[in-house]
Structure 1
Amino acid sequence: MLPVEHLHLEHVLQTVSALESVVLRSFGPEGGQVLFTRDTGQAMLSRSGTTILTALRLEHPLARMVVECVLKHSAVTGDGSKTFILLLASLLRVIHTAACKVPNVSHTYNSREAAVASTARRLTKKLLTFALEELDDIIAMGVVPYGGCLQREDFTATTHSQTNNPCIQKLLASFFYSRLGQTHCDFFSHLTSEVLNNWKLQNEHPSISLNFIKDNLPALLTPVSGFPISCSRLIEGQVIHRDFATPCPLRSQQPVKAVVLTGFLQPKVLCAGEVLELGCGGQGIDEKSRKERSIVQFSAWTERALECAIAHLQSLGVSVVLSSAKQSAAVLALAAQAEICIVECVDEDELSLFAHLSGASPVTDCLMIEPDNVATLTFCQSILLGAHRYVHIAFHDSDKRLMVKPCGIIICGVGEGQTDQYICSFHDAIRMLFSTWKPIGVTATTASKQTSNESKPSQTQSQIPNLSPSQQCLIEPGCVVPAGGTFEFLLHHALIKHGHSRLVMDDTYLDIFTVSQLLANALLSVPRHVYSHSPRHFLQTHAGLVNEQKHNDIPEQNLQGGVSNKPCCREIDIPSKVFMLGFGLESVSCKYQLLLAVLQCVSSLLQMDSVLHIHTTLHKGSKGLANISWECTKAEVEE
């Protein structure tokens, strides 16, 4: 009989609380760094929530499930891993408190636990439904008007003009502060701004440029260990993370022509379905002699074909070949004699970026190369970065290419672990900016409100072509609010007001009032931890924001499609105490997606009924692991 562990709400809360106690050590402005010691003796310091949670050796399946949810959310938005755990624990506490208030159906322990679990599931389901249908409206009315909106000029301004782009600098600085600490946050915010300025696409929305950088970031980044972080910089052109397989002659003043080859330079001998037959000769020659003669003839033919391919490259003026495959020794020898540089085993992402920036299409057969497949480079030379030698290229100016300034990003760190940490933070910063500028679509409930003639409220944005641009996007791209709990304070007050207004209208909205109160109470846990070392600032900031909301209250009749008429792009000047503490800015879109992810995680956790402890042998394809014990969760069947 397999051992079965029955799960209760208290067990889930204990598991999440254990994770909460870990991330609290590095949360907030007073949070420190966590020291990791690996089995090899290597030590590493980090403030990153994803790094901390990934390094934990978790045995309980619920803990692993929570960490997996956090990592999936962080992979999309790049931010909010520690806040995810704090909100999750706070929501479980308020749900547990509310569920325990239900009258007992029996005096037995099992019946009480079942009643609490059933009530908790119902509350979680109502919370998730409420968030999916009405939360974006509440944020648009109660949070967005009290923040600001980043402009395209702020996004693409140069880093030296601090007075022209204070918002983007504060947004990046607050992000890197939570990851790398106060020492390096300003340096990385400047470096990120330079990357955005060089890779901006003219007359395009910032989300397009950010999406391009996000997709090609592995090919743009070059880690260099053994140097201080101050050596990190941008480098012109592109760095191919391979070295020359043939000697590279110096060409300082002349343009270089290159071609991308996705196959072998050796010409194809056989086509699909063909068979090479050996042994064609006279009747008086024995079998061994016929085969040897045929092999010699075949080798001579392939050598002549290879010479023709090299001659074809020379006729086109090609002096550099970027290949995704490893070439033969004969190819490298003939290429060296012809002074053609070959870079072999180049990553596909780097070849794709090179083809996109140069405008030259890759080819698979060297004999099919045409002038359109040849790219013109300013230079192509070796570069030594740390202990590795790479290929450094610069693109020739052309109107056919994108109007950008191609540049690679060199990230330096004293140790390999620190370098990886800086690169992960840079990745997450780009994801955060992309999530900030990515428009949030209209919800199902809002769509039904705006299209009163439609009878089905579950239509998606793609099915509603008649909506205006302002109606299709409730939370405008680029919306930010001051950090330090401002979003949670504003949304807390907006939720309480929304719940009371619905309850006054009709008693049937009691469920909305209840879930609004639960979510509002859970949100306050984040600023409480932010101001844990200064409770007086917590009370002052909360009171100041509530007074600001009451003074600038927006009547519901002045709202059109859930978007306030009050401009959200005004100067961010509240609350003054938040700016005095120097918290910076936070993305409204990332916060909204964080709340939805946390509520979905709570819903999944409370559906678990029991854990079966089993032992099994993994398949051979499971990364070499075998004979390990593991636990699987069993979902309770809904009624």
Structure 2
Amino acid sequence: MAAAEAERPRLWQEAAALAGAVRGALGPRGGRALLLRPTGEAVPTRDGRRLLEALSVEPPAARVMVARACSLRAATGDGAKSFVVLLAAVLGGLRAAGGGAGLRRALRDFEAQVLERAAARGLRRHLRPAPPGLLEPLLEPYLAGRLGPGGRRRLARLCAEMCRRCAPAAAARPQVLRLLGRRFAELHAAVPGLPLASSRVLPGIVLRRDFAAYCPTDGELRALLVTEPLRPALTAPGVEFAVDSEGQYQASLRWITERTEALMKHLQSNNVKLLLSSVKQEEVVIYYAKLYGVSVVECLSSEEMALISEITGVSPYAPFGDNTDREITETAAVTFCQPLLLVSKRCVHIGFTSVSAFQPHCLILCGPVVGVNEQHAAALQGAFTMLLQLFETVDRREEWKVEGERHSEASDVSTWHSSATQKQLVIENTCNSNQVSECRLKALGYERERKILDPDKSDLLVHNQKNRSAPVLVAHNTDKVSACECLRVGRGLEKTCCHIVPFKQGESCAGSGQDYSNCLIEAGSVLPVGGYFEILLHYYIQDYAKQCQQSEVSIVSNVVADALLSIPKALYRTAERNGFTTFYLEAISLLQKNQPLPVNNEGLESVYCKYQLVISVLHCVTELLSIDLVIGIRRPLQKIEDSDSEDDS
């Protein structure tokens, strides 16, 4: 039997051990672990991936858990610590519930029968779009979970500034965020020994090496990319070149010199004033480059060359062939090229004209020591990946899209307009690229007590406003604010636009008969940080699971619902006494009364990332419980020849 009963306690123990190692660093109030590198350097960190990888776990199942947690972190930029905490809680709940293959099958049924319906018909009503143009409310809590208390706000501002400068057009934000996540190592320069306040965003890119030859020039110039030595070879590879006399040798050197000089003249005639080389060039090349006013930067990495090619759209140039005088067309436009002094190291600062939506900018990241700079850089790279998830949606499964269409066709559209006990306020976003216009409110149905946004107080409701909290805004699936609009940069950003759709009294999450579109979670959906997602999903899973006919699916539903609370429990463990209990009871009471939840001012988080966390944990649990046999391999497997047959003994 796969994952026999005797093995389940061990799975839970291994997951609990991993969770215990990272739980203390979870959330903005979490502590930091001190990692000791083989070199003896001590590095304090709160990054979940670093913590898990530093453990060097040996048990195969635990290694699977770590690999899945790190895979989620790489894909979404978030969730490594929450993954193992939730995984340990789910495995512990299943261990206490008992059962074998039936629960494993129930895990697969739970996702489609309960989880997706709870998200679509309950959770969705509480989602809100990201504030227009405001990235800091998302970035600050994200960085707070990975870095120490100092500099979070400064790093959030730097990250937001770089995002806005690299993608001034809102429609280009996903493409640019994807590039920033992939190429951040080449788009920042770490400067140890300076305070974080000295960090800044600069136009262009910084190459962390000095010029081999520098010739100052004004105005726009052309740059050429090369991946091979420009000094011509006397012979082809594999061909022997025989020299019979000193005269022949000197003649060969003169030929090389003349060809190199001719090439530099040719570059000058094509207005090429900058040579970017991935290999080290010979002295004769550097000499004639200086003579003809061509700056040279050599020994660029393959990643830097790939980034420049991606920005400019040019390919490396092959200089030698039958016709060395042909016109050079593969050149990049450069607006400036100058040395940049970073403390005691001189670097190359180049401004490229981009052929894509990405506008080249780089980050000068300062910090007291190298280890701190590495942590900041890793956190910022993850932040770009996290922001990219705002443009992702979660779609429903095919097997119950048909059901949703049937219910949608049967439902009366007028129920959203004619109910005397219900009102909708739809706030339309009429933003343009420069400013956010005034929000226009259209009241549909009967007029009742209005809850409107104060244009001077972003994200706060005028009605029933308190010093400590404000109601959560509830988003309906007809929201027209796209993710690109939610991240638009412009003036008037304090005027945040979103939808407000209050609940009907006595409405059930499972029987509401609404939200039957194919999209479970729309792009740009966010919730306040601090356990709101887990509390909401916990409540709606339990509420919907009551209607399940399958007892095993109901058991899994209760296990997952209770396991979700492990994350807010860990978040509130260092708060005031009984902080989680107070928050939980207050939230459940409001949900039972169909009232909005209180909002904290600690920031927002992507709902897509949180939902993917739950899905990844469920898939990992199913994978672990389906393991039949663990085989330890002490040596590499021998290659089996194609001629071998099954009859061989």
Q: Same fold (TM over 0.5)?
A: yes
- Alignment of 1:390 with 2:347, yes or no, is yes
C-alpha deviations, 1:493-516, integer Å up to 9, x for none? 11011111x33xxx4x33332222
Q: What is the CA-CA distance between 1:18 and the residue it aligns to?
A: 1.3
* Distance in 1 (alpha carbons) for counterparts of 2:634 and 2:66: 22
Question: Residue 149 and residue 474 in structure 1: after superposition, are their counterparts in 2 closer, same or farther (change >3 A)?
Answer: same
Question: Residue 175 and residue 277 in structure 1: after superposition, are their counterparts in 2 closer, same or farther (change >3 A)?
Answer: closer
* Distance in 1 (alpha carbons) for counterparts of 2:209 and 2:38: 31
- Alignment of 1:513 with 2:554, yes or no, is yes
Whichever residue aligns with residue 206 of structure 2, its letter is V
C-alpha deviations, 1:404-458, integer Å up to 9, x for none? 5421012222222111111110111111111232233442334444577xxxxxx
Residue matched to 1:631: none
Map 1:450-469 → 2, pairs under 5 A: none
C-alpha deviations, 1:345-378, integer Å up to 9, x for none? 2123323333443454432336477454233323
Residue matched to 1:143: 123
Residue matched to 2:230: 265
Residue matched to 2:175: 208
Question: Residue 260 and residue 471 in structure 1: after superposition, are their counterparts in 2 closer, same or farther (change >3 A)?
Answer: farther
Whichever residue aligns with residue 567 of structure 2, its letter is V
Q: What is the CA-CA distance between 1:142 and the residue it aligns to?
A: 1.8
Residue matched to 1:105: none
* Distance in 2 (alpha carbons) for counterparts of 1:583 and 1:477: 22
Question: Residue 294 and residue 523 in structure 1: after superposition, are their counterparts in 2 closer, same or farther (change >3 A)?
Answer: same
Map 1:377-526 → 2, pairs under 5 A: 377-395=334-352, 401-402=355-356, 405-449=359-403, 471-500=517-546, 502-503=547-548, 507=549, 509-526=550-567
Q: 1:605 aligns with which of 600, 603, 624?
A: 624
* Distance in 2 (alpha carbons) for counterparts of 1:211 and 1:472: 25
Residue matched to 1:349: 303
SS at match of 2:150: helix
The question of whether the paired residues in 1 share the 8 Å contact of 2:97 and 2:555 is answered with: no
Q: What is the CA-CA distance between 1:270 and the residue it aligns to?
A: 5.9
SS at match of 1:319: strand
More displaced stretch, 219-228 vs 30-39:
30-39
The question of whether the paired residues in 1 share the 8 Å contact of 2:289 and 2:295 is answered with: yes
The question of whether the paired residues in 2 share the 8 Å contact of 1:8 and 1:609 is answered with: no
* Distance in 1 (alpha carbons) for counterparts of 2:61 and 2:182: 32
SS at match of 1:180: coil
SS at match of 1:391: strand
C-alpha deviations, 1:162-209, integer Å up to 9, x for none? xxx3xx322111101111133222111111110111011525153223
* Distance in 1 (alpha carbons) for counterparts of 2:129 and 2:270: 52
Residue matched to 2:504: none
SS at match of 2:53: helix
The question of whether the paired residues in 1 share the 8 Å contact of 2:94 and 2:556 is answered with: no
C-alpha deviations, 1:546-585, integer Å up to 9, x for none? 34433448xxxxxxxxxxxxxxxxxxx7323xx1xx4321
* Distance in 1 (alpha carbons) for counterparts of 2:370 and 2:636: 34
TM-score, scaled to structure 1? 0.75
The question of whether the paired residues in 1 share the 8 Å contact of 2:337 and 2:351 is answered with: yes
Map 1:41-56 → 2, pairs under 5 A: 41-56=40-55
The question of whether the paired residues in 2 share the 8 Å contact of 1:7 and 1:611 is answered with: no
Residue matched to 1:283: none
SS at match of 1:183: coil
Map 1:121-136 → 2, pairs under 5 A: 121-131=101-111, 135-136=115-116
Whichever residue aligns with residue 344 of structure 1, its letter is E
Question: Residue 384 and residue 446 in structure 1: after superposition, are their counterparts in 2 closer, same or farther (change >3 A)?
Answer: farther
The question of whether the paired residues in 2 share the 8 Å contact of 1:381 and 1:391 is answered with: yes
Residue matched to 2:443: none
* Distance in 1 (alpha carbons) for counterparts of 2:525 and 2:20: 31
Measured on the aligned residues, the alpha-carbon RMSD in Å equals 3.1
- Alignment of 1:339 with 2:339, yes or no, is no
Whichever residue aligns with residue 232 of structure 1, its letter is S
Question: Residue 237 and residue 450 in structure 1: after superposition, are their counterparts in 2 closer, same or farther (change >3 A)?
Answer: same
Residue matched to 1:176: 143
C-alpha deviations, 1:591-619, integer Å up to 9, x for none? 11111111122222223355555643799
Q: What is the CA-CA distance between 1:392 and the residue it aligns to?
A: 0.4
Whichever residue aligns with residue 231 of structure 2, its letter is Q
* Distance in 2 (alpha carbons) for counterparts of 1:330 and 1:133: 72
Aligned length: 525
* Distance in 2 (alpha carbons) for counterparts of 1:179 and 1:125: 36
SS at match of 2:521: coil
Question: Residue 277 and residue 80 in structure 1: after superposition, are their counterparts in 2 closer, same or farther (change >3 A)?
Answer: closer
C-alpha deviations, 1:450-492, integer Å up to 9, x for none? 577xxxxxxxxxxxxxxx9994532111111111111111001
Question: Residue 128 and residue 296 in structure 1: after superposition, are their counterparts in 2 closer, same or farther (change >3 A)?
Answer: farther
Map 1:294-373 → 2, pairs under 5 A: 294-365=248-319, 367=324, 370=327, 372-373=329-330
Structure number with the higher helix fraction is: 1
Whichever residue aligns with residue 288 of structure 2, its letter is L
Map 1:138-287 → 2, pairs under 5 A: 138-150=118-130, 153-154=132-133, 165=134, 168-200=135-167, 202=169, 204=171, 206-246=173-213, 248-251=214-217, 253-267=218-232, 276=239
Q: What is the CA-CA distance between 1:81 and the residue it aligns to?
A: 1.1
More displaced stretch, 301-310 vs 75-84:
301-310
Question: Residue 369 and residue 478 in structure 1: after superposition, are their counterparts in 2 closer, same or farther (change >3 A)?
Answer: farther
Q: What is the CA-CA distance between 1:41 and the residue it aligns to?
A: 2.9
Question: Residue 17 and residue 392 in structure 1: after superposition, are their counterparts in 2 closer, same or farther (change >3 A)?
Answer: same
**Structure 1 residues without counterparts, runs of 5 or longer:** 100-118, 155-164, 280-287, 453-467, 554-572, 620-639
* Distance in 2 (alpha carbons) for counterparts of 1:389 and 1:510: 69
Whichever residue aligns with residue 406 of structure 1, its letter is P
Map 1:85-100 → 2, pairs under 5 A: 85-99=84-98
The question of whether the paired residues in 2 share the 8 Å contact of 1:360 and 1:374 is answered with: yes
Residue matched to 2:598: 575
- Alignment of 1:594 with 2:635, yes or no, is no
Whichever residue aligns with residue 150 of structure 1, its letter is A
Whichever residue aligns with residue 386 of structure 2, its letter is M
Whichever residue aligns with residue 432 of structure 1, its letter is M
* Distance in 2 (alpha carbons) for counterparts of 1:445 and 1:549: 29
Map 1:15-54 → 2, pairs under 5 A: 15-54=14-53
* Distance in 1 (alpha carbons) for counterparts of 2:616 and 2:358: 35
Q: What is the CA-CA distance between 1:294 and the residue it aligns to?
A: 4.8
Give % identity. 30
* Distance in 2 (alpha carbons) for counterparts of 1:538 and 1:529: 9
* Distance in 2 (alpha carbons) for counterparts of 1:494 and 1:57: 38
- Alignment of 1:542 with 2:507, yes or no, is no
SS at match of 2:281: coil
**Structure 2 residues without counterparts, runs of 5 or longer:** 407-479, 483-515, 639-649
* Distance in 1 (alpha carbons) for counterparts of 2:109 and 2:253: 72
Whichever residue aligns with residue 80 of structure 2, its letter is S
